[in-house]
């Protein structure tokens, strides 16, 4: 293996090893909480669907990319390639929208009663299922191009123009007009949600800054601050996710827009873009596990109950 192949295999192996177990753990943690303890909050429901979307992305992009980097060939036929890339596109788009919904809901939670967002505090939980279902429908409907132009093999083993080589599958567009139309439509569709989540995150940061100034004047009183502290921690976690997604999205789409301007994309550029395209699937669950109380609680081992004192003394005299 050359240097590029070694770095590629190592990078995608690390992403796969982190993303699949961690996202699966989050899904199981929320499911266990729902079945045994209390009803999940709207934020937890969104995080659970986000983990499912990230898990799907890992299985449909990170995992096959890792296998290909280690030399596995002919992973899928044409139908398999169409399904794998289709579900990857759906999960990636769904991840953007769920992160945007999470930042919006968190902004609504911390917004004061005088804010225009206050009216959404009851509406979002009430219509949350409808919102998520509409996201799924929208993502499935707007990712059909992956089915139309995806193939497992190339004719005569030559890469035609306007082809995106995933190494395990090929996305070949018929001409430049189709490439530009599909590329720009996908970019502006996702960019609109990125802008919205960025605006909501800036609003959350502004509220946290104002809250921090008030807290400095009320250090002596701890009554009634536990709820606000929990909201502050949750808000910071959401802002962290948005910042990370914005950075990864920026690198991914900068390379994507560059790819639209040339006929053939160098393999190294495709590898870098692929790495940043799925990096969020590994970083996001780590942030959730570190900051979400329900998920973090599942990591704690049950404490062994101490033996009664009578049994303890009895055993010591034997």
All structural domains of the chain: 3-298 (1.20.1070.10)
For residue 254, the model assigns a pLDDT of: 84
Q: What is the predicted pLDDT for the residue at 16?
A: 92
Per-residue model confidence (pLDDT) at position 84: 93
Instruction: List average pLDDT for each run of 10 residues in the chain, which is 318 residues long.
Output: 79 92 94 84 93 94 89 87 93 93 91 82 91 95 88 77 83 86 86 90 86 62 54 82 88 81 73 88 92 82 45 40
pLDDT at residue 311, as a whole number: 41
Q: Which residue, among 42, 18, 33, has the nearest Cα to 297 in the 3D structure?
A: 33
CB within 8 Å of 256: residues ≥ 6 apart: 183, 187, 273
| 8 A C-beta contact, residue 301 and residue 35 | no
H/E stretch holding 92: helix 78-110
* Cα 176 off chain centre by: 31
Tokens of 184: 């720009």
């Amino acid at each position: 293996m050359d240097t590029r192949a070694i770095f590629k295999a190592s990078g995608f192996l690390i992403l796969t090893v982190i993303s699949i177990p961690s996202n699966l753990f989050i899904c199981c943690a929320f499911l266990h909480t729902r079945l045994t303890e209390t009803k999940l909050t709207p934020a937890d429901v969104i995080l659970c669907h986000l983990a499912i979307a990230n898990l799907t992305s890992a299985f449909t992009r990170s995992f096959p990319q890792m296998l290909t980097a280690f030399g596995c060939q002919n992973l899928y036929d044409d139908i398999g390639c169409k399904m794998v890339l289709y579900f990857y596109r759906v999960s990636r788009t769904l991840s953007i929208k769920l992160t945007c919904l999470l930042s919006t809901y968190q902004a609504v939670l911390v917004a004061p009663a005088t804010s225009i967002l206050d009216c959404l505090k009851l509406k979002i939980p009430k219509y949350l299922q409808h919102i998520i279902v509409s996201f799924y429908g929208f993502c499935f409907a707007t990712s059909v191009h992956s089915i139309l132009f995806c193939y497992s093999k190339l004719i005569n083993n030559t890469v035609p123009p306007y082809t995106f080589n995933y190494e395990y599958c090929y996305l070949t567009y018929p001409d430049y007009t189709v490439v530009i139309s599909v590329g720009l439509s996908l970019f502006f569709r996702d960019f609109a949600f990125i802008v919205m989540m960025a605006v909501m995150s800036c609003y959350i940061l502004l509220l946290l800054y104002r809250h921090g100034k008030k807290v400095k004047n009320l250090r002596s009183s701890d009554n009634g601050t536990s709820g606000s502290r929990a909201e502050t921690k949750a808000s910071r976690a959401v802002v962290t996710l948005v910042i990370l997604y914005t950075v990864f999205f920026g690198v991914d789409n900068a390379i994507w827009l560059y790819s639209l301007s040339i006929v053939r994309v160098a393999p190294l550029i495709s590898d870098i873009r692929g790495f940043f395209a799925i990096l969020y699937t590994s970083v996001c669950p780590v942030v959730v596990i570190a900051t979400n109380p329900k998920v973090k609680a599942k990591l704690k081992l049950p404490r062994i109950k101490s033996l009664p004192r009578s049994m303890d003394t009895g055993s010591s005299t034997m």
